Structure 1
Amino acid sequence: MPKKRTKLVVKPNTKSPHYKKGHVQEQQQPQPQAKKPHQQKHHEKPTIPFSKTDRILLLGEGDLSFAASLVKHHNCTNVLATVYEKSEEEVLEKYPHAKENMDAITTAPAPASDDEDDFPSDFDPEDYPSDFEAPEKKQPWLNKILYNIDSTKPLPSVVARPAKPNRVFFNFPHVGGLSTDVNRQVRNNQHLLVETFKRVLPILAHDGKIVVTLFEGEPYTLWNIRDLGRHCGLQVERSFAFQAEAYPGYKHARTCGVVKNRKGEEGGGWKGEQRSARSYVFIKKVEGGNDTKSAPGKRKRRKDDDSDDD
């Protein structure tokens, strides 16, 4: 049988002007407060879609904090970071704090001291006893910054020399505030991605991958990034939650530059690195591959989304 609602009898306030003799106040049990929306936290190990020996091309790097993190904390030695701004001075005008990131990318570490073991370039561990622990062979320092790079236009030959990149990153692409009309903004950003895909494909290594990271939710879901990739001969291999904490020192850089408050102080506006975001890993479309949409009325988990259950 359903439980009856419990009534609490409250002693009346006889001094109240609204008190009437014989009146008994009733008070229902307090209703439980609605739970606040759960903010998703990442407990799993972050997905890192590259290795330190990959040939990495970064597009639209903004303040270069992502590139600096790859170099300083992931020990990458072959990073080509490109920015849309025409010069170092223009970058620093928009992002005054970027100088430290620039130095981290372009300044190679000091050479090893004389008392350290110096192994020849043709060092082969197999020539030594099995219990000998050979140090990891040092990679040449090839990290660079290129200015005045528009990813929607033909890319300079230097991005594919001496070898084509096998990892291309385009983090949080956005054309900026060209229009306040949502539909027009969507079309502008779709054009940005399509043209970028077209320019990157010719210089991408045969087994290379393009990683595009977007914020979750609208208007970004309206861009239909999977369809844009298919239109250009690409398919999504997988997608996963982007975790900014995996890149120490990284801060989201807005297209318009550093946001300031009314007093002219830096630090105003939202922090993009704290928003939920997702990375899509594109590969060249395989002929006859299974990259089709689910049949109408059936919602199937995509095979390429092996990390969608974050």
Structure 2
Amino acid sequence: MEAEKRIKHYSSSHKILLVGEGDFSFAACLATSLGCGVNMVATSLDSKVMLNKKYNKAMANVSRLEDIGCTVIHEVDCCTMSQHPKLMSNLFDRIVFNFPHAGFFFTSESTPYVIDLHKNVVKGFLRNAVEMLTENGEVHITHKTTHPFNMWEIEKLANEVGLGLLDEVPFFDWHYPGYNNKRGEGQRCNESFPIGKSSIYKFKIMN
């Protein structure tokens, strides 16, 4: 039996679902570090064609993932993912969404209606994630902790769908070799954004 491998909060024994991947560099980092991708499903909102247009390393990362056994699924909406034909019969030990975001609206991130749009995406994701967790599974959201992002009230949104905060730990991108976050939209979609102070919020289903 092959020895368990780990990277930070993730183990090769976990069934892992990654949601909202940009260029799939986070998924590639995890799968490479864990030595295999057979227990991992990585998804993007973008189509494969759009990924190729937006991110210069996306196709290489996807090919790498598929070569080591990871299931890659495109055009997955986090707010309806529990009903996706390729996902609806699966349960996961870890469901991970790094830096969820509703998009850019040519106004300040502190504008109330923009905050509400972001919160709607997060709550939709959490509501679906609850339906896809194993009994002791965890939902992980990586999120900026500074203003105005702290106004999203991530923990409150989780509580509203039956999830309780298990832990909050600082997030540092250097813990994940090869991971590059992406802006995701506009002419600078392939560029990274400053992470600043960010945390991984870990949630479990409340008893």
TM bucket, shorter chain: 0.7 to 0.9
The residue number in structure 2 matching 1:102 is: 62
SS in 2 for 1:166: strand
The residue number in structure 2 matching 1:236 is: 165
CA distance change for structure 1 residues 257 and 94 in 2, over 3 Å: closer, same or farther? farther
- C-alpha displacement of 1:160: 4.9
- C-alpha displacement of 1:53: 1.7
CA distance change for structure 1 residues 258 and 52 in 2, over 3 Å: closer, same or farther? farther
What is the 5 A alignment of 1:82-97? 82-86=43-47, 88-97=48-57
Are 2:21 and 2:27, in contact at CA under 8 Å, matched by a contact in 1? yes
SS in 1 for 2:45: coil
Are 1:57 and 1:159, in contact at CA under 8 Å, matched by a contact in 2? no
Divergent runs of 4+, >4 A: none
Specify every segment of 5 or more residues in structure 1 that has no aligned partner in the other structure, as ranges.
1-46, 109-140, 261-265, 287-310
Are 2:20 and 2:98, in contact at CA under 8 Å, matched by a contact in 1? yes
Alpha-carbon distance between aligned partners in 2 of 1:71 and 1:258, rounded to the nearest angstrom: 29
Number of aligned residue pairs: give it: 197
- C-alpha displacement of 1:246: 1.4
For 2:118, the aligned partner's letter is: N
Percentage identity across paired residues of the two chains: 24
CA distance change for structure 1 residues 258 and 66 in 2, over 3 Å: closer, same or farther? farther
Correspondence for 1:159 among 77, 87, 92: 87
> Does residue 189 of the first structure (1) align with residue 118 of the second (2)?
yes
Indicate the structure (1 or 2) with the bigger Cα radius of gyration: 1
> Does residue 272 of the first structure (1) align with residue 194 of the second (2)?
yes
Correspondence for 2:19 among 31, 39, 59: 59
Q: TM-score, normalised by structure 1?
A: 0.60
CA distance change for structure 1 residues 68 and 214 in 2, over 3 Å: closer, same or farther? same
CA distance change for structure 1 residues 284 and 179 in 2, over 3 Å: closer, same or farther? farther
The residue number in structure 2 matching 1:73 is: 33
What is the 5 A alignment of 1:203-282? 203-256=132-185, 259=188, 271-272=193-194, 275-282=196-203
Alpha-carbon distance between aligned partners in 2 of 1:211 and 1:271, rounded to the nearest angstrom: 20
Alpha-carbon distance between aligned partners in 1 of 2:155 and 2:36, rounded to the nearest angstrom: 29
CA distance change for structure 1 residues 257 and 101 in 2, over 3 Å: closer, same or farther? farther
Greater relative contact order (CA < 8 Å, ≥ 6 in sequence): 2
What is the 5 A alignment of 1:13-162? 48-77=8-37, 78-86=39-47, 88-108=48-68, 141=69, 143-155=70-82, 156-161=84-89
SS in 1 for 2:51: helix
Alpha-carbon distance between aligned partners in 2 of 1:144 and 1:257, rounded to the nearest angstrom: 28
Are 1:154 and 1:199, in contact at CA under 8 Å, matched by a contact in 2? yes
Alpha-carbon distance between aligned partners in 1 of 2:98 and 2:56, rounded to the nearest angstrom: 20
Alpha-carbon distance between aligned partners in 1 of 2:9 and 2:119, rounded to the nearest angstrom: 24
Normalized per residue, the structure richer in strand is 2
SS in 2 for 1:207: strand
Normalized per residue, the structure richer in helix is 2
C-alpha RMSD of the superposition? 2.0
For 1:279, the aligned partner's letter is: I
Q: TM-score, normalised by structure 2?
A: 0.88
CA distance change for structure 1 residues 225 and 246 in 2, over 3 Å: closer, same or farther? same
SS in 2 for 1:105: helix
